[in-house]
Amino acid sequence: MGERVHVRKRGRMLEGMGTPVKKLLLNQFGGAVLGIMLSSAAMASRYLNLATSILAIFFYLFLQYTTIWETGARDRIRVDGGRAAENKWQGLQIGLLANGPNILLAVLVILLTVVGVLGQWQWAGNADVVLTVIARFWQGMYNGVIIFVVPKGLSGVQTILSTLIYAAIILPSLVVTAVGYRMGYMNRRIFPERKKKD
C-alpha cells in the first residue's frame, strides 16, 4: 500500500514533464548540430571558433528559454483552474531531467579520467576518450569554448581539473530552465510582446 502511494506521488511529481523534456532534448540536439557545423567552419581561428560557439550557445539557450517559458505559462493556467498545484521548482526539475544525459556524461568522463590518471588503467583512459567524443558531440555548441578554455598537453591533476568543464557547461541550461519557467508562470517577458496591427 505504502509503495503504491509512493509511486502515485512520484507520478504526480513527473506529471506534465514529459513533453517539455522531449522538446528541450530536441533543442539540445539542434543546438549541438549547429555548434558542430559552426565550429567546423571556424576551425582555422581559435577566436573565431570561440565566437561562433558563443553564438550557438545563445541560440541554444534562447530555444530552451522559449520552450520552458511556454510550459510555465501553460502550468499557470492549470493552477489557476484548480487542475494542478503550484510548484516553484518545476522548471529546475524539468531542466534536470532534460540534462540527464549531460549530467551522466559529465560524471562518467570525470570519474573515468580520475581512475585513468590516478590508477594508470588503460581501459579507463580508452573509455574516457570515447565518452569525451560523445559528450563533445551531444554538447556541440560548447566545442569552441572547450577548445579555447582547455589547453593542449595537460597531464596528471590538470587533466582531471579540465574535465570539470563538462559539469560547468550544464549550469547555464539549468539556470535558464529555472528562470524561464518562473517568468512564463508569472507571464513576464524579457522582450515585450509585439502588438498585432489591426
At 134 the pLDDT is 93
| Residue matched to cell numbers 581512475 | 115
Residue 171 resides in a domain: yes
Residue 177 resides in a domain: yes
CA distance 82 to 91: 19
pTM: 0.81
Angstrom distances, CA of residue 98 to CA of 16, 18, 22, 36, 145: 13, 9, 7, 20, 22
Residue 4 resides in a domain: no
Residue 195 resides in a domain: no
Number of domains the chain contains: 1
CA distance 52 to 42: 7
> Which domain, by its residues, includes 155?
17-185
Residue 74 resides in a domain: yes
Residue 142 resides in a domain: yes
At 2 the pLDDT is 47
Residue 190 resides in a domain: no
Residue 8 resides in a domain: no
198 residues of the chain, pLDDT tens digit each: 444 444 444 444 455 567 899 999 999 999 999 999 998 888 888 899 999 999 999 999 999 999 999 999 999 988 888 888 888 899 999 999 999 999 999 999 988 888 877 777 778 778 888 998 999 999 999 999 998 888 776 667 777 788 889 999 999 999 999 999 999 999 888 766 665 554
At 170 the pLDDT is 95
At 7 the pLDDT is 42
Note the maximum CA span of the chain: 71
